[in-house]
Each structure stands twice: as C-alpha cells, then as structure tokens.
Amino acid sequence: MSKVKVYHNPRCGKSRNSLKLVQEQIPEDEVEIIKYLETPPSRAELKSILGKLGIKAEELIRENEQVWKESYKGKSFSEDELVEIMVENPILIERPIVVKGNKAVIGRPPENVLGIL
C-alpha cells in the first residue's frame, strides 16, 4: 500500500490543519510529509498530481504571490510552461495537496482532505 503524501508548508495554517486531519485518520507510518518548498516536485510529479486532482495547471497557481505578480501576471502560458514555472517557483503551488493512490485533493478548506482518506 502506498503512503498518503502531504505536500505541506509548515508556515501555512490551512496546511497545518490539513496535516493534522490526515494524522488523526491515518497511522503515522503511512503518511509521507513533503515540505515542497524544500523539496519541490519534479515536472513529472507535478503533472501526475494535476492529473489526480483533475485540474489544469493554472488552477493550482497561487496568483497572489509576489513572484507571480512581478514575473507572470497578465501573460499567457501553455500547460507545460505553467508546470515548469511551478517547478522553478514552488511557492506558487497551491497548498496543501494530499495524495492517496490515484486521487488527490487540495486542503482548502482543510476538511476537503477527509474525502479521500
């Protein structure tokens, strides 16, 4: 059985609350916490996550981040270009993301994670 992966930012309240919900439902040894700002997902991992979420890359971008506003806002990008932008700037990835098997969910609100656990 594969572990439940939590793409987590410890500085984010929603991420902390989502992680807490996961930890209350799943044994600790079955949870993999990925601090994605320190260990960003690869291009392939991010594409896989998007597929599991069932969304386009643009829906996973945090458009209020300064790096987005300064470098990317108002410009047009392909799906692959958006994935590359997130790989290079992981702060732009919406958080938290919880992945279980072939399903994933964004923990906004944190209670969303309960749907796949």
In the block, tokens 């969304």 appear at: 55
From the candidates 12, 34, 55, 116, which is the catalytic residue? Answer: 12
- Tell me whether residue 45 is one of the annotated catalytic residues: no
Residues 106, 99, 40, 80, CA torsion sign: negative
> Which 8-state DSSP code applies to residue 63?
T
Is-contact 45 87, C-beta < 8 A?
no
Q: Which residues does the annotation mark as catalytic?
A: 12
